[in-house]
Structures are given as C-alpha cells and as structure tokens.
C-alpha cells in the first residue's frame, strides 16, 4: 500500500469510528510505525482534513470538506467548460493562483460553487477591463478545489485530465532576485 492509499484508509477508519482512534491502533492496523501515522495525519491536515488530536487518539470532524490544488492550462474560451466541469462534479473552486517568475504567487479568491457562479464570474470578466489571471503565465494556473470527499476530488481530477485541462506538475524553485542568499552571493 502506498502513502496515498494509506492516508485514504486513515480517513475511512476515522470517519467510521464514533470514538477517538489511537495512533498506535492505526499503526498496527496499517502495518506501519506510529511515526508514519503522525506524518500521514500532518499531510491530511495540510490538505484540509479536519482531524483533531485528543488524549485518547484522533477524531475527524463530522462535516468534513477536503481540498486539493490542481494545476491546469487551457485557452480563454475554455474557462466555462473548466469551471463547469468542477462544479458539476460536486466541487467548489475556492481560488485561482499563478506562480509568476518575478512577483511570486498571485492569488485571487473565486468562491465558485455552481453554474450560476460560473456565469456571473464570466460576465464580470467580459464586462470588466481586466483579463484572466492565467494569461500572465501563458495559460498555466492553479485552483484550490474543495469537495465533500476525496472520491469527489479524484473524479474532478480525472475529468479535468480527460478533457486535457490538467497540466504537468513541475518542481518550483524560488529565485532569489534580491541577493539575500549568502551562498549565491559568495559564488
């Protein structure tokens, strides 16, 4: 079982339990060390899972919402299809952001939950003097997508992939434009 599968199993175990589940019990059931469970819990929390630690173990908040950041790319005339694909599958587009080589991360709140929100957003873009944020990075941009389960997020990701909207992830290495890195200054 890989890390993603194990973390999904942790979510399932915690979701189906009415009482806290000890880290030792999770480790034993998943055949890993307690430290691996601690790391998995930290990753799940970083991805939006509402997992709480108690003196008796881990609990998951009943009204859960999961999130995932997806890198996408498309043309201007495909924005409606991209956003509609997400909301039709049960997703909520929380924001859009880009990594600009000079300015760093530029982020904008979107809060798109329905086709009506999609239409309103597109109308604001059409009638305003601004262009889409994706256009400052040759169409590449990121969305934070929220949903009620990992399965819904998986379905959204798969549908975006099938439509050709998912972009290949690459490692991002920040560039020190101000010369604050002493090692670079010595080189």
Model confidence at 112, pLDDT cuts 50, 70, 90, reads very high
SS3 assignment, position 90: coil
Question: What is the structure's pLDDT at 55?
Answer: 86
SS3 assignment, position 105: strand
Is pLDDT above 60 for 134? yes
For domain 1-58, which CATH number applies: 3.30.750.80, 1.10.275.10, 1.10.10.10, 1.10.1670.10? Answer: 1.10.10.10
Is pLDDT above 70 for 177? no
Per-residue pLDDT, averaged over 80-93, amounts to 96
Binding-site entries for Ni(2+): 74, 82, 141, 143
Model confidence at 60, pLDDT cuts 50, 70, 90, reads confident
Per-residue pLDDT, averaged over 180-187, amounts to 43
3-state secondary structure 170-184: CCCCCCCCCCCCHHH
For domain 64-161, which CATH number applies: 3.50.50.60, 3.40.640.10, 3.30.1340.20, 3.30.70.2190? Answer: 3.30.1340.20
Cα dist from 2 to 5, 7, 104, 146, 187, whole Å: 5, 9, 33, 23, 41
Binding-site entries: 74, 82, 141, 143
Tokens of 178: 């101000």
Question: What is the structure's pLDDT at 183?
Answer: 45
Question: What is the structure's pLDDT at 42?
Answer: 92
Question: What is the structure's pLDDT at 63?
Answer: 61
Using only C-alpha atoms, what is the Rg of the chain? 20
Question: What is the structure's pLDDT at 168?
Answer: 81
- Express each pLDDT in 14-54 by its tens digit: 988 888 999 999 999 999 999 999 999 999 988 888 898 88
Residue 72 β-bridge partners? 141, 166
Burial class from Cβ neighbours inside 10 Å (0-12, 13-18, 19+) for residue 117 reads middle
Model confidence at 128, pLDDT cuts 50, 70, 90, reads confident
Torsion angle of the four alpha carbons 136, 165, 117, 124, in this order, in degrees rounded to the nearest 10:
30
Domain spans of the chain?
1-58, 64-161
Is pLDDT above 90 for 58? yes
Q: When comparing pLDDT for 187 and 116, which is higher?
A: 116
Q: When comparing pLDDT for 60 and 170, which is higher?
A: 60
Question: What is the structure's pLDDT at 185?
Answer: 39
Match 């439509």 to its residue by tokens.
Answer: 163
Indicate the pTM of the whole model: 0.59
């Amino acid at each position: 079982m890989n890390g993603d599968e194990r973390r999904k199993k942790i979510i399932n175990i915690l979701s189906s339990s009415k009482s806290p589940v000890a880290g030792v019990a999770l480790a034993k059931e998943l055949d890993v060390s307690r430290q691996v469970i601690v790391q998995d819990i930290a990753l799940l929390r970083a991805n939006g899972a509402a997992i709480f630690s108690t003196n008796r173990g881990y609990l998951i908040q009943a009204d859960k919402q999961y999130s995932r950041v997806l890198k996408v790319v498309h043309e201007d005339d495909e924005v409606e299809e991209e956003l509609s694909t997400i909301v039709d599958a049960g997703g909520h587009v929380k924001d859009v952001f880009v990594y600009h080589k000079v300015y760093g991360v530029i982020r904008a709140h979107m809060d798109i939950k329905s086709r009506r929100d999609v239409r309103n957003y597109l109308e604001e873009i059409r009638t305003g003097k601004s262009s889409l944020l994706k256009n400052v990075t040759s169409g590449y941009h990121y969305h934070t997508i929220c949903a009620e389960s990992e399965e819904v997020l998986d379905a959204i990701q798969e549908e975006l992939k099938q439509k050709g909207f998912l972009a290949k992830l690459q490692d991002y290495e920040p560039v020190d434009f101000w010369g604050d890195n002493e090692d670079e200054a010595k080189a």
